[in-house]
Structure 1
């Protein structure tokens, strides 16, 4: 069975973006980029909620013309070539969307996990991550905490209704400043 791997950047105070939606604070040094690329190599499908999708599709199709950052130039071809699933009740999709799901989140995601193939990577987001965690459908959590206090924004997990016990797998400091913790589903 395929796993859902959640990969997200967060501030020290637990937000995934700033009070006005800003996402200009993560710093992708060489070690953090290598960590991200290792996750990419484990997956054959990318999974997004609509807010993150709109941010991604506004940048990655032409990323190399916007930035010459080494992480950007390495990730952009992977992003373009990898199937992308967007979870939304109202979004019809676009030329970059492989599929849209969302009518029955629990069943559709369970079906995705049962399909043959490599793991699925859920990148960023708060609402979808919270909903999938609530349903017990995220198998691994990789949370990169950057040395910044944002003072507001979207929380790491939106509106959890129940406790989710996680099991610590490992913690690594990358590029001398970003703390990446990996968790599995706990008892």
Structure 2
């Protein structure tokens, strides 16, 4: 069975974006980029909630015309070539979305996980991650904590309604400033 991997950047005060939705604060140094690239190598499908999707689709289709950053140059072709699934009740889709899932999150995602193929990567966001966490569908959490306090925005796991017990798998300082920790869900009763 395929895993869902959640990869997210957060501030030290626990926000995934700023008070006005800003996402200009994460710094992708070479080590953090390499970590992200290693996650990309494990997956063949990218998962997005609508707010993150709209940010992604506004940049990645033509990213190389806007930035020559090495991470951008590596990720843009991967993004375009990957299967991309958007979760939204109201979004109708676009030329870049492979599929839009509107309802029955539990059975739709369970079916995705049961398909043959590589793992699935949920990138950023908070609401979709909280919903999938509450349903017990996320297998790994990879959290990059950046040395910035945003003072507001959407909280990591905003809207989650259940206690989440995790086991730390690895934690490391990358690029001398970002702490990346990977977790998996703790076994029941543990």
TM-score range, shorter chain: over 0.9
* Alignment gaps of 5+ in structure 2: none
What's 2:114 paired with?
A: 114
**Residues of 1 paired with 2:82 and 2:160: CA distance?**
30
Runs (4+) of structure 1 exceeding 4 A deviation are none
* Alignment gaps of 5+ in structure 1: none
Q: With structure 1 as the length reference, what TM-score do the two structures score?
A: 0.99
Any idea what the Cα deviations from partners look like across 1:33-87, whole Å, max 9, x if unmatched?
0000000000000000000000000000010111111111110000000010001
What's 1:155 paired with?
A: 155
What's 1:166 paired with?
A: 166
**Residues of 2 paired with 1:103 and 1:27: CA distance?**
34
Q: With structure 2 as the length reference, what TM-score do the two structures score?
A: 0.97
What's 1:178 paired with?
A: 178
Please state how far the C-alpha of 1:25 moved relative to its aligned partner: 0.5
Asked if 2 retains the 8 angstrom alpha-carbon contact of 1:4 and 1:139, the reply is yes
Please state how far the C-alpha of 1:102 moved relative to its aligned partner: 2.5
**Residues of 1 paired with 2:160 and 2:4: CA distance?**
18
Give the 5 Å matches for 1:19-34.
19-34=19-34
What's 1:95 paired with?
A: 95
Please state how far the C-alpha of 1:6 moved relative to its aligned partner: 0.2
* Number of residue pairs the alignment of both structures matches: 187
Asked if 2 retains the 8 angstrom alpha-carbon contact of 1:102 and 1:108, the reply is no
Asked if 2 retains the 8 angstrom alpha-carbon contact of 1:43 and 1:118, the reply is yes
